[in-house]
Structure 1
Amino acid sequence: MRRSLLFLLTLVLAVAVFPAPARAATTGVRFVDIPGAGVTLKGNVIAPADTGRHPAIVFPSSWGLNDLEYLAQANALAGRGYVVVSYTPRGWWASGGEIDTAGPQDMADLSKVIDWTIANTAADPARIGAAGVSYGAGISLLGSAFDPRIRAVVMMSGWTDLVYSLYGDNTRHLQSSGLLSLAASLVGHPGADLSGKLADFNANRNVDEVKAWARVRSPATYLDAINANRPAVLIANAWGDSFFPPDQLVDLFGRLSTPKRLELRPGDHAIAELTGIAGLPNDAWTSLYRWFDQYLAGVDTGIGAEPPVVLKPLNAGYEQYPSWGALNTSTKRYGLGAIRWIDGTGLLGGEPSTGWSKTLPSDLDTTANGGVVLLTNGVSAFTGQQPQIWLPTVDRLRAGVWASDRPGSALRIRGIPKVHLSLTGTAAQGTVVAYLYDLDALGNAKLITHAPVTWLGTSAGSRSVDVALSATAYDVPAGHSLTLVVDTTDPLYYDANTLGGTVTVAGGSYVDVPIR
């Protein structure tokens, strides 16, 4: 994790030395101190060299980074006619105060930055935008609920529901929270508030208090205010985001009544935007240009008339849809069948059958897993290859495996697959993880999507659990088998299993797959 952070910092310094070429003359970068809400924030400004008022964009920096992060893009945007103000949020690097984690103080700071921008630059007060990656993305969308001067937002790799990000399906995310904590301790000033909440999260205590704290920092909490202020909102993210899985974005996007657009691409957290931060051609940043040109600069780029849902499937070209619901035309149910003794695999397909069961140890991992935060899905974004295992290496004594027949035509999965598991003989609390794979004839299995689910009951016994897998778009080739693996442990997550216990999957279980 330290090496990953140092790599990102090196990238930022490289951008500062080799900024992207501008289209027109700019003022050059000017480093400034900006009065925040009781603290001083470090920032920089780049603006067009010509006179007159210009649309302005405010960039809060990402978690662990500072205002140097956006220099290449700020230079490019200034060349396109924008005043660009980037700043380091409170508690990070040389900015004052303690980390507020997109809380009320960060919202007050963002408004102060807008005040300063209007008073000290050639910014047009009627044409203010906010954008960022990750932490800066969340602050930007949240800020549009509190400051009506923000007329357009571009949120890249951000979150809409921090409770879901921390506790999705009652399962805590181990690696992502650990990386956030490490960054805060290395280059930030976390203070008692953040340190206490991270400690409670890791110890799984005071859960209601942590969730209440997270709701205050969730754009979904302020949806009515965002809709009332009517900023134009562009949300861009990655299918494999291990910090902020995309299902939460789909929910808020559907309830936005503002001008809106949703873009999803292969990759992990902040990976889809990474080359753009370095000043290289990048689809996500091209969309940012078009969005701000349309809704701030008054240039008709056509983006407002295009279908608002834009997808780059994991193994296909770009697609556009009029709504999220239009992604799929039907849902196919795959029932789980009895495990065959000859190969330890059950049939995935047909109506859910009964009269069978598969017992799994509750504390042993398998080769089926979601990978390493940032790295696994990040590498696949550049290589175009999904994370892969050889299915025979999945220990059938530790996992349940169900494989479908091999159809003669491709299966186009679009949307959020859902798994329903009937469980017997369970402890009061426990966790299972479901993985959906594309299996070829040689046993190579490419990960399509996955998700954990945890139940927190008060007594042992039979129960059913439902888990919405991470949203995906993937074409299973003709002749390949859709394959489900269920085990109980994954290094990405904390689990609630009993050491030495068991979990039994029984008849009546199935997978619902949205297809087109």
Structure 2
Amino acid sequence: MAPRRSTLLAGLFSMLAATILIGGGPAAAASPTVRFVDVPGDGVTLKANVTVPAAAGSYPAVVLPSSWGLNDLEYLAQARAMASDGYVVVSYTPRGWWSSGGEIDTAGPSDMADLSKVIDWTIANTPADPSRIGAAGVSYGAGISLLGSAFDKRIRAVAMLSGWTDLVYSLYSDQTRHLQSSGLLSIAAQLLGNPGPDLTGKLDDFNANRNVDQVMAWAKVRSPATYLDRINANNPAVMIANAWGDSFFPPNQLVDFYHKLTTPKRLELRPGDHAIAELTGLAGLPNDVWTSMRGWFDRYLKADATGTPPGQVLLRSDNQTETYASWSAQSTSTRRYGLGEIRWWDNTGLLGGDPSTGWSKAVPTDLDTVADGGVVLLTNGISAFTGLRPTIWLPAVDRFRAGVWASARPSSAVQIRGIPKLHLNLTGTAVTGSLVAYLYDLDNLGGAALITHAPVTWLSGAAGNRTVDLALTATDYDVPAGHSLTLVVDTVDPLYYDANASGRTITITGGSYVDIPLK
């Protein structure tokens, strides 16, 4: 049965294509040529377009698989710009999407075979230099490109924009299932693709929280981290760009992968949510991510020493950019903030100093507060364009539904760089349960800007006492002088499934603390 298509989206893509093809740019005589073609994949036909420089010659080539839910028209603006700069660009729609044949393979073995077939076709049918092949993409196309470098040695350079390195972590970070992001992926697959029984079954199992081992095994096959040794052996130059607030592929997974990657490498993190940082570039507007990507390919496919340099970790946040030689170089120390006893007059504890003992704070399992991670794509996406972080009025956080701890107000800024880590001692817990922790910047009027957050779930062990260790999402943030670093812990967030039975409580006790990495 043919997959359903969205005529509205198809119309929008057609308008975009027309704008890019007949719009501004170089004079017609010097313009790159664009062809729409059928490319034979591994037993399926893949829809694609090819953009080639106007002048004859041999050129480096870049293959661009399209994003989840989109098609090969996605990259036309960038393809024209790259072809004008001396690249052959082949953009294609992966199997199972739009008019490409087959079923969605979710960056599995069939997608890897398809990518190699596209490279075969590119070498045979365009003026591509076989020794200078690159692969890149946004989101789904990013993951396919990085995975492909493990299976096809001809890929000499990769740019992974808003992609993943560990799909298991993306689905189950700290054993917590991601509700909103997985839901959007499922809706896109049903509307714009042919998910088939494999993907449909895995999503059904994920949502029902069953056959977890099978879903994780399926996701592991589709994780670049699984093939890190192969990628290192093939030695492609790998650039990774992502967003601090990526709600599909949280950036913590990139840190360990980047550290273990021995190829020429680069890591960039910017404000925003999934694929937001690259968005304006898809429309052909000036964009730092795409400029960096072009420079990366210039260096490794054109041997241009002035291209984007390797060995850098570029961190952009709050209108400032910092560059380090490694991830660990951004933080020089770690400060431990102990969670103190809850004060009776304001139901708030002190955050700071040595962890104290002899106190406890119970939070109910089925009652939310105004503290949350927002709406997937929307909350952090708006933040990327406005420069304003998601903010709540802290007095509105119901202290009978959450634990709140606030630090003293320091006379100098607290410069957070890296991954804050929370350690909680719990008593009287059920066999399964979930908590969500939020770190805020609290001003003098009660406004609290969200710095970072993360959920944690436990699914085994005996009921009773336990400890929970949680890595909050990586961040780059300066808490201004006179502001209070504030921790909120509750049990419900619309972004995630939880594993709590209703009508119970989870009790946080003394000895708990949060470790903050500092510049």
TM-score category of the 2 structures, normalised to the smaller one:
over 0.9
Q: Deviations over 1:372-394 (max 9, x none)?
A: 00000000000000000000110
Partner of 2:322: 319
CA-to-aligned-CA distance 1:423-457 (integer Å, 9 cap, x gap): 00111100000000000000000000000000112
Corresponding residue for residue 42 of structure 2 = 37
**What is the aligned partner in structure 2 of residue 171 from structure 1?**
176
The verdict on how the C-alpha distance between 1:181 and 1:62 changes in structure 2, with shifts beyond 3 A counting, is same
What are the superposed Cα offsets for residues 219-248 of structure 1, whole Å, 9 maximum, x if unpaired? 000000000010000000000000000000
Q: How does 1:116-515 map to 2 (within 5 A)?
A: 116-304=121-309, 307-313=311-317, 315-515=318-518
The unaligned stretches of length 5 or more in structure 1 are none
Describe the SS at the equivalent of 1:65.
coil
Q: What amino acid maps onto 2:277 in structure 1?
A: A
Preserved CA contact (<8 Å) 1:9 1:65: no
C-alpha contact (below 8 Å) 2:32/2:80 kept by paired residues: no
Equivalent of 1:106, from 111, 115, 134? 111
For 2:7 and 2:488, locate their aligned partners in 1 and report how far apart those are by CA, in whole Å. 36
CA RMSD of aligned residues (A): 1.4
Question: C-alpha separation between the residues in 2 aligned to 1:372 and 1:27?
Answer: 40
Name the amino acid aligned to 2:435: V
What corresponds to 2:86 in structure 1?
Answer: 81
How far did residue 28 of structure 1 move?
A: 2.5
Normalising by structure 2, what TM-score?
Answer: 0.96
Closer/same/farther in 2, CA of residues 467 and 71 from structure 1, 3 Å limit: same
Determine if contact 1:316/1:475 at 8 Å carries over to the other structure.
no
SS across alignment from 1:445: strand
1:300, distance to aligned residue in structure 2 (A): 1.8
Q: Is the 8 A contact 1:60 1:89 kept in 2?
A: yes
> In the aligned structure 1, how far is the partner of 2:508 from the partner of 2:380?
29
Alignment identity in percent?
Answer: 73
Shift of 1:11: 6.1
The TM-score with structure 1 as length reference comes to 0.97
Q: Give the CA deviation at 1:64.
A: 0.2
User: AA paired with 2:79?
Assistant: A
Q: Write the distance in 1 (CA, Å) between the matches of 2:440 and 2:395.
A: 13
Please identify, of 131-140 and 288-297, the stretch whose mean Cα deviation from structure 2 is larger.
Answer: 288-297
Q: CA deviation at 1:344?
A: 1.1
Q: 1:485: how far off?
A: 0.1
Deviations 1:351-385 (A, max 9, x none): 00000000000111000000000000000000000
Contact conserved, 1:26 with 1:46, CA < 8 A, in 2?
Answer: no
Q: 1:401-442 deviations in whole A, cap 9, x for unaligned?
A: 000000000011000000000000111100000000000000
The structural deviation recorded for 1:298 is 1.9
Alignment match, 2:3: none
- CA distance in 1 between counterparts of 2:129 and 2:25 reads 21
Secondary structure of the 1:74 match is helix
The question of whether the paired residues in 1 share the 8 Å contact of 2:435 and 2:455 is answered with: yes
Shift of 1:6: 9.3
Given the superposition, is the C-alpha separation of residues 416 and 7 from structure 1 closer, same or farther in structure 2, using an over 3 Å criterion? farther
The secondary structure found in structure 1 opposite 2:347 is: coil
For 1:331, give the aligned amino acid: T
Q: Which amino acid aligns with 1:451?
A: A
Q: Write the letter of the residue equivalent to 2:142.
A: A
Q: Assess if the C-alpha contact under 8 Å between 1:161 and 1:215 holds in 2.
A: yes
Per-residue deviation, residues 70-108 of structure 1 (Å, max 9, x unmatched): 000001100010000000000000000000000000000
Q: CA separation of 1:428/1:68 partners in 2, compared to 1, >3 Å: closer, same or farther?
A: same
Aligned residues: 510
Measure, in 2, the Cα distance between the counterparts of 1:282 and 1:258.
26
Contact 2:298 2:307 in 1 (8 A): no
